[in-house]
Structure 1
Amino acid sequence: MKEQEAKSSSDRVDCDELLARLGGWFRARVLLCAALAAVQVGLLHTTYIFLAADVPYRCVVPECEAPNSTDFSAAWTAAALPEHGRAHRCSRRVPLDPTLPCEANSAFSEDLVACDQWLYASANTIVTEFNLACQEWKRTLVGTIHNIGMLVSLPILGYVSDRWGRKTALILSCVLVGAIGSLKAFSISYEMYVIVEFLETVAGASAFPAAFIMTIELLGQEKRVLTTAFLGIMLVIGGLSFALLAKAFKYWRTFILVVYPPSLLFLLYIYFLPESIRWLLSKGRKEDALEIITKAAKMNDVTLSEETIKQLQEAKAPMEKKEEEVGLWIQVFRSPIIMRRLAICSWWWITCTFVFYGLAINSVSLAGDKYTNYMLVVSVEVIAVVTNALVLDRIGRKRTLLIAYIVCGISCVAIAFVPPAMSWLATLLYLVGKIAITQAFSGVYMYTSELFPTHARHSLLGFCSMVGRLGSIVAPQMPLLAIYVDWLPSVLFGSTALVAGALMLTTPETLNTRLPDTIQEAEQLANQHKKPENLEMKAC
């Protein structure tokens, strides 16, 4: 048996060593392509935050003004409209003497009547365009529909990636999000806008996973931390670009026509981006892999040995037997440790998406300019990304994520107790919470993948990611909840993070442990926390 395994491994190509030799311009080209895709994700994946943002509006009082009035803050509005709460924008008072002109000292009845017309302070978002006043649920539903699209997208584009290649999945996601998203600018109704929002997300939500996988497969497993940090910074650049462009082009239709169409340029990746060599070899497409490797070697002035060329020509795709796959899944469901770990990881993902997107969405309601607030919330993510790059391989995954969840939880809960006069403190706690949840989100992807066995790793990681989208589906509804209980969203964010931190105590550390290949090895991870010595690199 050992002789057969040795022979099998000798027939395969050591991708890590080969890609390290190629390096140079070949690696830089793939990294540039992945970086641009990540920037596009940061630019487009939360556009609903501004496009469907709330705008100031009030009731039209027909006894005092014409429906097309432009005097948003007339002197008599203080007496005609309630002062606080939802009723302030959804109901009005009637003048006691409708024959007299409305003035600052005019008398109005104490009884409130429901409004049927509204006056908006600006026409920059779909709230004004589709007359969504006093229909907050319709506004927040846009974000929820967007994230439901993400839930649908993950298995579809994941299948495309595994079936037709990383390059195909990346190009489809990046191009379709621009093509479909541009149609939003021509929406003639709220219903049309929501449908296009859903289709846009289904098409483009998997761009980042495709870019991440392609980069990981290029750099090798030993570069997982650096790869995550690199793409995380690209996401931040995209997020900052989004806020700057939204501030420059405030009208939502103009913004869409400026930002979305350039995504069609990703069609050039057909000629510029090579397919993943690891994926090609895993599918037995050795001729295609050899063609890419030969071009990369020539580009970087690297000479391939005859032995390497022979290995590439004779490389065999790993044979997967259906019976073995079914048997593996039976083992997964029969393992209490793996099933418990799956449930815990799912909660981590729900927490990350719920708090991460919830804080991003709520950032526009902080005191001050909403565009500046969003840029602040996005830019502090760099701190989290750099911190992870420095500490994940030093103090460990478990301790890093535990601290991140606890800090996030305490910061978010504390916001509820900050008095209105100390808005600066609320903003500071908000930013600390955002840094911490970004650090957790950045690290949980890698930590989750290290807790499961090789043959079930992609499927179980994908399951956790899909379940985690439940958090991002609920997150856009938090502004609606804040209308009724303003402190409750931050407490919910903090509570879920604290629970996630407590669950972190139940899983093993994976720093300096080899990735488990079997169910048994995954179950025994707690006993394998030691520095690897002379570990052989795995072949493709």
Structure 2
Amino acid sequence: MVPPIIPIILPIFRCRIDLQNTTAFPNASYDNITIMTTPIDNYGRPVEPCERYNYNETQCQMNSDLSCVNLSSPVIGCDVRVFDESVFTETVVTEFDLVCERNVLRSVGSSMYILGYSIGSILFGNISDRYGRKRTSIVCTVGMILVMVAVAMSPSMEFFIATRFFQGILVIGMNIPIFTHGMEIVGHEWRTFSGMMYHVSFAMGYMTWSLIAYIFRDWHEMQWGMLVLALPLLVVVLIVPESARWLFATGQDEEGQKVTELMARFNKVKLDEEFWKEAQCVSIEKPSYISNRYSTIDLFRGGVIRILTLKVAFSWFVNSMVYYGISLNAGSFAGNIFLNNVYAGIVEILSYVVCTLVMDRVGRRLLLAITLSGAGLALIASTIVNEFAEKNRGLITLGVVFAFVGKALVSGSYAIIYNFTAELYPTVVRSNAVGFGSTCARAGSVLSPFIIDIQDYIRWFPNAVFGSFALVGGLLALTFRDTTGQPMMASMEEARRFHSGKTVRIQDSKDAVGHVTGELL
């Protein structure tokens, strides 16, 4: 979910002081000269690393002291920056000098990734529903690998920004059909596990970045390392068969039957001729939805589906805004960056494991409400504690604990909304629905850093906003119909009846084969 931030991390930097290269101060260290020539705070850190006091180097050489440094005149901008290389030898920031007047390009790079993510969500949600899960996955996986090569070889920041944009498009274009496929290829008793394992893989990837970055301290080498790890995915998407549910839902019964029999043999389930005859007898005529082509617009057709889509959109927006808000703000915590990355991944995995164990017992609707509103309460509690903490170490630690509790809970709710959305919509628009939800989520993630910036003026504002939205989102979750234990719907008509509070009999259509075999897989 969160794009890798290690390659674009901002290391400590300051102005390069030419006096360090002179022989006038043989006993003065670089830090001593920096303190005498740079505005610093009470902790000895540069107040503004892009500025320094003015001085005349020739005069300093002649006087052999630092009286040449004009402490009373206005500071001036750096000529050249010096970056701390104790952790990383090269990052995108240090290579392309993305600080001071060029700092905006760092934000542009992240924004273009998110923009690509948004475009890809809508684009490949439609393509996946129209041309199939497998074809879409193959195209996007090949494209992503090629773009990763281009990113690693970026000769300029402009080229890096462009490739990050296409990377965002292809990453979500690959993820949507893979997630949807994973939900459709299993029976209802395994849907929770399948959906949650998808999110566990994200957390593991997040932690893998720590290992790669620890081994390779240059961002180019990091990219090559991640590329090597991504190559086996291409083999996987090539050998995994198409979704049988999608094949049946689009009228490709012969291909659907082949895939079903293949999966049945793999799971040691025997499907005899009687089974297929019974399935054929369900309906002689093909359902009308088979010949239709659906798009994102269909998510807003009809009152019941339109209201559902608006509620789903808000839920995705809130989950993403709060998740990114906590994740980006947690980056300011002190400690080892590699371990912090691992800890963040562990917190998410624990959250997913707990949700997997209790989701089928508690239900999607109630668990979404509990986790999202619980995250809101934790953030509000953290805000209150921090306001009264001042220099009390115990209260400061308690505030951090509440923040991590909020992160664990919103990680769980974010995973639940993925599963829930896939089950709330029928097969013919399922990828469209997940793609549209992901697009709404990007709006929330874009807003998060701007909300965080306000804490420079109003310290309690970000967590108060995140907490309030999470509470509202948790209450809204109670208005959904629960899908726990329900067979996955195939047609829009089934979805309308379900969300109108009516009983849905999946066997009403020829697509019953897809649902029956889904329970066997």
- Normalising by structure 1, we get a TM-score of 0.77
Paired with 1:362 and 1:145, the residues of 2 have a C-alpha distance of 20
Shift of the 52–316 alpha-carbon distance from structure 1 to 2, 3 Å rule, reads farther
Q: Deviations over 1:401-446 (max 9, x none)?
A: 2222232223334444254663544442332111011111111233
- Cα contact 1:75–1:103 (8 A) shared by 2: no
The answer as to 2:396 corresponding to 1:396 is no
Shift of the 507–284 alpha-carbon distance from structure 1 to 2, 3 Å rule, reads closer
SS at match of 2:60: coil
Partner of 1:130: 96
1:202 is displaced (CA, Å) by 0.9
Which amino acid in structure 2 is aligned with residue 130 of structure 1? Answer: F
1:389 is displaced (CA, Å) by 2.0
449, 463, 469: which one aligns with 1:496: 469
The answer as to 2:59 corresponding to 1:92 is no
- Cα contact 2:379–2:463 (8 A) shared by 1: yes
Shift of the 379–519 alpha-carbon distance from structure 1 to 2, 3 Å rule, reads closer
1:382 is displaced (CA, Å) by 1.9
SS at match of 2:53: strand
The answer as to 2:288 corresponding to 1:319 is yes
Shift of the 208–520 alpha-carbon distance from structure 1 to 2, 3 Å rule, reads closer
The answer as to 2:43 corresponding to 1:76 is no
Farther-moved stretch of structure 1 (133-142 vs 472-481): 472-481
Shift of the 82–373 alpha-carbon distance from structure 1 to 2, 3 Å rule, reads same
Paired with 1:75 and 1:103, the residues of 2 have a C-alpha distance of 12
Paired with 1:341 and 1:313, the residues of 2 have a C-alpha distance of 33
- Normalising by structure 2, we get a TM-score of 0.80
Partner of 1:166: 133
The answer as to 2:3 corresponding to 1:46 is yes
Farther-moved stretch of structure 1 (259-268 vs 290-299): 290-299
Paired with 1:140 and 1:318, the residues of 2 have a C-alpha distance of 49
SS at match of 2:331: helix
Farther-moved stretch of structure 1 (419-428 vs 258-267): 419-428
Farther-moved stretch of structure 1 (343-352 vs 91-100): 91-100
Shift of the 300–488 alpha-carbon distance from structure 1 to 2, 3 Å rule, reads closer
Partner of 1:356: 323
SS at match of 2:251: coil
Shift of the 489–235 alpha-carbon distance from structure 1 to 2, 3 Å rule, reads same
Partner of 2:447: 474
SS at match of 1:320: helix
Paired with 1:474 and 1:515, the residues of 2 have a C-alpha distance of 34
Which amino acid in structure 2 is aligned with residue 393 of structure 1? Answer: D
11, 36, 39: which one aligns with 1:55: 11
Partner of 2:353: 386
354, 366, 371: which one aligns with 2:338: 371
Which amino acid in structure 1 is aligned with residue 273 of structure 2? Answer: E
Partner of 1:155: 122
- Cα contact 1:63–1:98 (8 A) shared by 2: no
Which amino acid in structure 2 is aligned with residue 431 of structure 1? Answer: F
Partner of 1:33: none
Paired with 2:508 and 2:250, the residues of 1 have a C-alpha distance of 26
Paired with 1:55 and 1:74, the residues of 2 have a C-alpha distance of 17
Which amino acid in structure 1 is aligned with residue 201 of structure 2? Answer: M
Q: How many pairs were matched up?
A: 485
Which amino acid in structure 2 is aligned with residue 156 of structure 1? Answer: L
Which amino acid in structure 1 is aligned with residue 71 of structure 2? Answer: S
- Cα contact 1:177–1:263 (8 A) shared by 2: no
1:263 is displaced (CA, Å) by 2.7
Which amino acid in structure 2 is aligned with residue 124 of structure 1? Answer: E
Which amino acid in structure 2 is aligned with residue 399 of structure 1? Answer: L
Shift of the 100–414 alpha-carbon distance from structure 1 to 2, 3 Å rule, reads farther
Q: Deviations over 1:25-71 (max 9, x none)?
A: xxxxxxxxxxxxxxxxx7xx622x101111111122446658xxxx9
Matches within 5 A, 1:79-228: 79-84=36-41, 88-95=48-55, 99-100=59-60, 108-110=70-72, 111-122=74-85, 123-134=89-100, 135-228=102-195
Paired with 1:502 and 1:453, the residues of 2 have a C-alpha distance of 25
Matches within 5 A, 1:422-437: 422=393, 424-437=397-410
For the aligned residue pairs, the C-alpha RMSD in angstroms reads 3.9
The answer as to 2:426 corresponding to 1:464 is no
Identity across the alignment (%): 24
215, 227, 240: which one aligns with 1:248: 215
Partner of 2:519: none
- Cα contact 2:125–2:432 (8 A) shared by 1: no
Which amino acid in structure 1 is aligned with residue 77 of structure 2? Answer: A
1:160 is displaced (CA, Å) by 2.8
Partner of 1:521: 497
Paired with 2:104 and 2:513, the residues of 1 have a C-alpha distance of 52
Paired with 1:363 and 1:285, the residues of 2 have a C-alpha distance of 49
Shift of the 157–112 alpha-carbon distance from structure 1 to 2, 3 Å rule, reads same
- Cα contact 1:52–1:139 (8 A) shared by 2: yes
Paired with 2:432 and 2:321, the residues of 1 have a C-alpha distance of 22
- Cα contact 2:38–2:46 (8 A) shared by 1: no
Which amino acid in structure 2 is aligned with residue 521 of structure 1? Answer: R
* Structure 2: runs of 5 or more not aligned: 23-27, 515-521
Paired with 1:496 and 1:445, the residues of 2 have a C-alpha distance of 19
The answer as to 2:246 corresponding to 1:284 is no
1:463 is displaced (CA, Å) by 2.9
Shift of the 508–279 alpha-carbon distance from structure 1 to 2, 3 Å rule, reads closer
- Cα contact 2:427–2:488 (8 A) shared by 1: yes
Farther-moved stretch of structure 1 (431-440 vs 310-319): 310-319
- Cα contact 2:377–2:467 (8 A) shared by 1: yes
Paired with 1:205 and 1:445, the residues of 2 have a C-alpha distance of 13
Shift of the 453–160 alpha-carbon distance from structure 1 to 2, 3 Å rule, reads closer
- Cα contact 1:93–1:109 (8 A) shared by 2: yes
